[in-house]
Amino acid sequence: MYTQGLNAADKAPPAIEDAGRLGAFQARIDAEQKIEPNDWMPEAYRRTLIRQIAQHAHSEIVGMLPEGNWITRAPSLRRKAALLAKVQDEGGHGLYLYAAAETLGVARETLVEQLLSGGAKYSSIFNYPTLTWADIGAIGWLVDGAAIMNQIPLCRCSYGPYARAMIRVCKEESFHQRQGYEIMTVLARGTTAQRAMAQDALDRWWWPCLMMFGPPDGESQHSDASTRWKIKRFSNDELRQKFVDATVPQGHYLGLSFPDPALRFDEATSHWHYGAIDWDEFRAVLRGDGPCNRDRLAARNRAHENGAWVREAALAFAEKRRRKAAA
């Protein structure tokens, strides 16, 4: 999902930790107790959470870019106000998440540096371009729909600050998916050209959205520990299936078709069966070779550099006032 980069193995040497404390920690997790910032926790738990929450935060921040692309060209004031509010929400969600990561003892500035230098991962989905207005509908409906699928179980994650951030995010995000589907509905009921635009957006976003859930179960190297620690409640494939089952009828309702000839409803399992996902494309995008990777990082770096004087001036002014008050 927003933390697909976790599927790479943790390279740090395992810490030597007291078996008694480890056992007591796991017992607390098993009893569904929340772990809080000052509680003792295994180093690997701390490291996994820092990486996961940071990747999640980076995804929110980079996720502002594809949609920001259409703010000035939204087709009406109503659409523009909604899109502005949505992009502002994504920025807020990034900040909630950086704050949750900081409770684990890492500075937000360090995490931002990692993103800007290209050392950190963010969700593969934000490396695809938004070519038409229909893409804004498809992102809200599909990308936010997939994100919500993933984030609802994270509200019950064992780490208190992450779970609380997710509760806020989920509460605010329910409008994102609805506004996207509304855009798709209007286009699907519009002129032939508008219908074609909606179909084209679905054709381009469908497979990248299925990739958002990460590699198939069995290839994911982080799942076991994350499941044991109750950071992850459902497997990648389980969440992907839930998303497909929820989304396919919504697409059919709009009279749109999915770009998957193998897609069919399986009466026996009551699930929608989908075709093979192109994992080579997924790995290429994660590696940095997607359609927009370089562009996204360049935009973030530009914004960070252009804002440097504001940060410096604010700190200098605070320091000046402190000195004045002390004198």
Interatomic CA distance for residues 183 and 83, integer angstroms: 11
- The answer to whether the beta carbons of residues 156 and 233 sit under 8 Å apart is yes
Q: Which residues, numbered 161-180, are part of the site for other proteins (CB under 8 A)? A: 164-165, 168, 172
Residue 316: CB minimum distance to other proteins, A: 9
311 binds other proteins (CB under 8 A): yes
Q: How far is CA 108 from the centre of its chain?
A: 18
295 binds other proteins (CB under 8 A): no
Residue choice 88, 117, 257, 269 for contact with other proteins (CB under 8 A): 88
- The answer to whether the beta carbons of residues 130 and 136 sit under 8 Å apart is yes
Residue 162: CB minimum distance to other proteins, A: 12
314 Cβ partners below 8 Å, 6+ apart?
Answer: none
**Nearest residue (CB) to other proteins, 158 versus 199:** 158
318 binds other proteins (CB under 8 A): yes
**Nearest residue (CB) to other proteins, 65 versus 165:** 165
- Among the candidate windows 11-19, 87-95, 139-147, 278-286, which touches other proteins by CB under 8 A? 87-95
Q: Which residues, numbered 180-219, are part of the site for other proteins (CB under 8 A)? A: none
Find tokens 């984030």 and name the residue.
151
303 binds other proteins (CB under 8 A): no
- The answer to whether the beta carbons of residues 2 and 150 sit under 8 Å apart is yes
- Provide the mask over 91-110, with x wherever binding to other proteins is found by CB under 8 A and - wherever it is not: -x--xx--x--x----xxxx
- The answer to whether the beta carbons of residues 303 and 288 sit under 8 Å apart is no
Kind of pairing between the strands at 264-266 and 271-273: antiparallel
Interatomic CA distance for residues 142 and 148, integer angstroms: 10
312 binds other proteins (CB under 8 A): yes
- Among the candidate windows 2-10, 115-123, 209-217, 309-317, which touches other proteins by CB under 8 A? 309-317
Q: Which residues, numbered 37-56, are part of the site for other proteins (CB under 8 A)? A: 38-40
85 binds other proteins (CB under 8 A): yes
Alpha-helical runs (H) found in the chain: 19-30, 43-62, 64-68, 77-102, 108-116, 134-138, 144-154, 160-188, 192-211, 223-228, 236-253, 279-284, 293-306, 308-326
Residue 318: CB minimum distance to other proteins, A: 4
- Among the candidate windows 229-237, 245-253, 266-274, 308-316, which touches other proteins by CB under 8 A? 308-316
CA distances from 78 to 43, 71, 81, 84, 197 (A): 48, 11, 5, 10, 20
22 binds other proteins (CB under 8 A): no
Judged by CB under 8 A, how many residues of this single chain contact other proteins?
28
Neighbours of 173 (CB within 10 A): 22
89 binds other proteins (CB under 8 A): yes
221 binds other proteins (CB under 8 A): no
- The answer to whether the beta carbons of residues 198 and 187 sit under 8 Å apart is yes
Residues at the interface with other proteins (CB under 8 A): 36, 38-40, 85, 88-89, 92, 95-96, 99, 102, 107-110, 113, 164-165, 168, 172, 311-312, 314-315, 317-318, 321
